[in-house]
Structure 1
Amino acid sequence: MDILFTRCFNPTFPTWIDIGTRDGKIAYLKPSTENPPKAEEVIDLGGKLLLPGLVESHIHLDKAYLLEQLTGDVTTLRQAIEKTTELKHGFTATDIEERSLRVIRQAVAKGVTRMRCHVEIDPISRLMGMETTLALKEQVKDSIDLQIVAFPQEGIFNDEETKGLMEQAMEMGADVVGGITYNDRDLDKHLDFVFRLAEKYGKPVDLHVDFSDNADELAIMDVIRFTHQFGMQGRVSVGHLTSLGSVEKEKATFIAKELKQADIQVISLPATDLYLNGRGDKECVRRGLTPVKLLLEYGVKVIYGSNNIQNAFTPFGTADPLDIGFLLAQTSHMGREQDARQLIDMVTNGAARSLGFEQYGLQVGAEADLIVCPVMDIRTLLYTRPERERVYKSGKLVAETTVQVTNHLKVATT
């Protein structure tokens, strides 16, 4: 073995385990009670938590860290789109690369080893973001796997040139076809184009859907229809879906069952959704989230993502997915121990399954993407989100964080 981690805690196993890596893969996994093989390096975790690398399910690298460039406050989705459109006129490849790398470095230090990023495809920045992110994908592959979504933020039929740009983005190597249901002239034409493009290139679909608190905005029903029409069950993800949180329960339950039948993954984006939704309410202000617990109750695959890092859509953000998990725990009434386990699964195994990341997890033959966490249980990890001690990508150490605290508190005796 190259590295042997001994006495590891992970909640999916009944006892402590030993994990060995060889040539970037997990080659050994057995209970700590058995005699482990020899290794060049042995790391005794003493019961500390060992997780597979975190999965960032939805992020916009090319729009990150635009906060300092904004003039005036942004309080609505429409304002966020318009302000960002203005700023895109000043984007350069160097600028996109620098801001993207800033996020990636932070994410890797927090344990992210796989990431799905949405890249702007439009007549303003054209394919600049695509070219830059494709180059980054190659440059950082030893530390993190990037999955690229060709995302038409400005719509597809608002400017006919976008159709050709989307096609070019797929030819260049985009991994996923993106779309947006609330920013184009014709929803049916938009979805038809997206699904046909995905069919042509054999790629999955990832859509921004129903980002509002208007119960009548239910483009998700059209997405479900197209998913069945194109036989894309299990290959469609939708982000936001916040209108569903305003729908009365009987109807919302019906839609949840339809989502389950279509095998559509839902990606909650609470940092952005909480910030921009509910602003029209004068009392009983809605949280503006997709109904996570209802969806989970009916077997819908639900995961979560950071979405934006310090820009017009979300002025917050640390690139640590666990911050988002903690936020979702607080705002979706998920405070039980089993909820904490569910939330960690939603950013590890559940996210990997939903997004099609292969060779993942704590199993022999998987990539040795591992995180050593300085805690002994899942709840402490989620509730305190300590620095990750060590992060490994394919068996190689890619980040290490040491924290030293000196406490000068004095307790008076009585």
Structure 2
Amino acid sequence: MDLLFTCCKNPTFNTLIDIGVKNGKITYIEEHDGRHTDAKEIIDLGGNLLLPGLVESHIHLDKAYLLDRLPGDVTTLRDAIEKTTELKHGYTAVDIEKRSLQVIRQAVNRGVTKMRCHVEIDPISQLVGLETTLALKERVKDSIDLQIVAFPQEGIFNDDQTARLMEQAMVMGADVVGGITYNDRDVEEHLDFVFRLAEKHNKPVDLHVDFSDRPEELAILDVIRFTKTFGMQNRVAVGHLTSLGSVERGQAAEIAADIARAGIHVISLPATDLYLNGRGDNECVRRGLTPVQLLLDHKANVVYGSNNIQNAFTPFGTADPLDIGFLLAQTSHMGSEQDALKLIEMVTTNAAASLGFQHYGVKIGADADLVVCSVNDVRTLLYTRPERERVYKKGKLVAKSTIQVTSYVEERMTT
């Protein structure tokens, strides 16, 4: 073997294990017994965690790090869209690449080996963002897998160019057809275009849906119908879906069950959703999230993503998806040990499934996309989010963190 990790902890297994890698694939998994199998490099984890690479399910690289360009603070979704639209007039390929790379480097350092990014397609930026991100995808492929969503942020039918540009984006190599139900002239028309385009190019669909606190905003019902009509079960993802959190419990439960039956993946985006939602409430301010636990109870696949990094939609962001998992744990009442396991699954195996990635996980034959952590349980990992010690992409070391902290607290207390 090229590489052997010994004495590893992984939540999928009940005992400590040894994991071997050859030619970028996991070829060996056995219970740890203290005996070393031959390998070119042997790394003893001493009981610490070895996870499959983290998956960033939803992020906007092309509009990351725009805070310093905003004329002031933004506190509403409409204002965020409008201010960002104004900034797009100044985008260049070099600018988009620089900001995107900044996010990607940070994400890889934190253990992300797969990422789905939404690239805006519209008459302002035309296809510059897509061309830049396609080139970037090839450039960083040895460190991270990028999936590119052709995303019509400004709507598809609010102008006479975007429909043509979306078609062209798919021909150029976009991986996913995107959509946004709350920013176009007609939901039915919008979804019909998106699903027909996806069918034509045999691509999955990823939609921004129902981003508000209004219980009557339920485009998700149309998404469920279109998913079934086009036979797209398990190939459709929806981001935000926050209106569902304001729907009466019984009705919300019925919708959650329908989402699960349709195989629609739900991507919670708490950093953005908590920041922009709930601002119209004077008392009992709503959390502004999709009802994560309700959806999980009805067997829907729920995952989470960073969405935005320091821009009009979200002034926060570190490109560490575990920060988002920790935020979701706090705001969705997910504080048990079992919840911690679920939240780690939501950023690993469940996230990979939602994005359709194959050859993933800690199993024989999977790509050796692995993250070495400096703790021995997932609860501590989620709650403390230490630096990831080592990150591997197909068995190749792509990031390494070495931190030395010297504390003088005890010494000063005893002198």
* Band of TM-score, shorter chain: over 0.9
Q: How does 1:221-232 map to 2 (within 5 A)?
A: 221-232=221-232
Distance 2:141 2:378 in 1: 29
SS class of match (2:184): coil
Q: CA deviation at 1:26?
A: 0.6
Distance 2:73 2:315 in 1: 10
Distance 1:289 1:229 in 2: 28
Equivalent in the alignment of 1:396: 396
Distance 2:266 2:26 in 1: 30
Equivalent in the alignment of 2:117: 117
Distance 1:208 1:324 in 2: 18
1:366–1:284 distance in 2 versus 1, CA, 3 Å: same
Equivalent in the alignment of 1:82: 82
Q: CA deviation at 1:160?
A: 2.0
Distance 1:253 1:27 in 2: 43
Q: CA deviation at 1:35?
A: 4.3
Deviations 1:163-197 (A, max 9, x none): 00000000000100000000000110100000000
Deviations 1:25-55 (A, max 9, x none): 1111111127442000000001010000000
SS class of match (2:392): strand
Distance 1:367 1:314 in 2: 33
Letter in 1 for 2:30: K
Equivalent in the alignment of 2:295: 295
Equivalent in the alignment of 1:356: 356
SS class of match (1:62): coil
Distance 1:367 1:68 in 2: 39
Letter in 2 for 1:265: H
Deviations 1:253-299 (A, max 9, x none): 01001101111000000000000000000010001000000000000
Equivalent in the alignment of 1:19: 19
Equivalent in the alignment of 2:366: 366
Q: How does 1:375-386 map to 2 (within 5 A)?
A: 375-386=375-386
Distance 1:401 1:35 in 2: 28
Q: CA deviation at 1:302?
A: 0.2
Distance 2:368 2:263 in 1: 29
Distance 2:34 2:402 in 1: 31
Equivalent in the alignment of 1:250: 250
Q: Does 1:344 align with 2:347?
A: no
Distance 2:159 2:359 in 1: 40
**Superposition CA RMSD, Å:** 1.0
Q: How many equivalent residue pairs?
A: 414
Q: Does 1:330 align with 2:330?
A: yes
Letter in 2 for 1:291: P
SS class of match (1:63): coil
Distance 2:272 2:173 in 1: 28
Q: How does 1:278-293 map to 2 (within 5 A)?
A: 278-293=278-293
Equivalent in the alignment of 2:150: 150
Deviations 1:60-114 (A, max 9, x none): 0000000010001100000000000000000000000000000000000000000
Distance 1:107 1:412 in 2: 39
Distance 1:216 1:368 in 2: 45
Deviations 1:124-146 (A, max 9, x none): 00000000000000000000000
Flag structure 1 segments of 5+ consecutive residues without an equivalent: none
Q: CA deviation at 1:413?
A: 5.5
Distance 1:35 1:361 in 2: 24
SS class of match (1:4): strand
Provide the TM-score with structure 2 as the length reference: 0.99
Letter in 1 for 2:304: Y
SS class of match (1:61): coil
Equivalent in the alignment of 2:138: 138
Moved more, 373-382 or 28-37: 28-37
Q: Does 1:217 align with 2:217?
A: yes
Equivalent in the alignment of 2:129: 129
Equivalent in the alignment of 1:163: 163
Equivalent in the alignment of 1:206: 206
Distance 1:16 1:76 in 2: 49
SS class of match (1:119): strand
Deviations 1:312-352 (A, max 9, x none): 00000000000000000000000000000000000000000
Distance 1:171 1:300 in 2: 32
Distance 2:98 2:4 in 1: 36
Letter in 1 for 2:105: R
Q: CA deviation at 1:354?
A: 1.1
SS class of match (2:97): helix
Distance 1:123 1:283 in 2: 41
Moved more, 32-41 or 212-221: 32-41
Deviations 1:209-264 (A, max 9, x none): 00000011000000001001111111000000000000010000010011011110
Equivalent in the alignment of 2:307: 307
Equivalent in the alignment of 2:235: 235
Distance 1:290 1:324 in 2: 14
SS class of match (2:267): strand
Distance 2:82 2:314 in 1: 14
Letter in 2 for 1:101: L
Distance 1:93 1:247 in 2: 42
Flag structure 2 segments of 5+ consecutive residues without an equivalent: none
Distance 1:258 1:61 in 2: 32
